[in-house]
Amino acid sequence: MKEGYVKTDINNGLATIEFFHVAHNSLPSSLLKGLAEAVTNAGKNDDVKVVLLKSNGARTFCAGASFDELMSIKDFPTGMDFFMGFANVINACRKCPKLIIGRVQGKAVGGGVGLASAVDYCMATKYASVRLSELAIGIGPFVVGPAVERKVGMSAMSQMAMNPDEWQTAKWAEEKGLFQEVFDSTEQLDDYIDYFTQKLLSYNPEASSSLKKIFWEGTDHWDELLSSRAEISGRLVLSDFTREAINKFKAKT
């Protein structure tokens, strides 16, 4: 449990992929690998028609990159490999032929915003504030940037990226298109997700898959794009600025 988990439950055509980490659902490379594999496998499984991506716990959807792992990176190949973990999850969601629904019950930071942006339809509670914190620790939202920009546009993405210490409300995220629905409670969120996924499961799977291809038109170059973005982050994470900033942040928590 300390290392976290990714698990998949398949029930009547719905694959629910759940992840958890004790550090506010942060994402070390092991969980990133597990998420990419789970999404890919769900896409290949003929018994799966719709995918639901969620995290465990009540307060935080995802705290983004694991700071402990970031601090352990000592060379560029290791750094690039770590950030490729986020690239692989985003690309897995992009390539998955099944529609993916996101459930965001609480705050999303950095890579967590990237996850919310990589799904096809995202629902949240009013407690799901969002923040791209990367610039504050000397990196930048390079890998998740294309997914976030695709959902909210360059103006809103740059607003988050340039204000790394500022939370944007769930209402703001809904207005910008990151969230499609925002609910007052987790119970209301889950009730609507149950209703919505059942409706999706009743539709023609071939039509849904064709619709997803249209949603993601113009992203065929993302394998190369996100790899080049992971290179940038992989180099920056080795800088003295970044290591000092992460240490200061950890000292506050």
> Going residue by residue through the chain (253 aa), what tens digit of pLDDT does each one get?
568 999 999 999 999 999 999 999 999 999 999 999 999 999 999 999 999 999 999 889 999 999 989 999 999 999 999 999 999 999 999 999 999 999 999 999 999 999 999 999 999 999 999 999 999 999 999 999 999 999 999 999 999 999 999 999 999 999 999 999 999 999 999 999 999 999 999 999 999 999 999 999 999 999 999 999 999 999 999 999 998 998 887 777 6
Residues of 160-173 as b/e, b for ≥16 C-beta within 10 angstroms? bbeebeeebebebb
Cα pseudo-dihedral 89, 90, 94, 96, rounded to 10: 10
pTM for the full model?
0.96
Q: Where are the alpha helices (DSSP H) in the chain?
A: 29-44, 67-72, 76-95, 111-118, 145-162, 170-176, 186-201, 205-215, 222-236, 240-252
User: Which pLDDT value is given to residue 251?
Assistant: 72
5-186 carries CATH number 3.90.226.10:
yes
Find where tokens 């919505």 sit: 196
Residue 233, Cβ neighbours under 10 Å: how many? 25
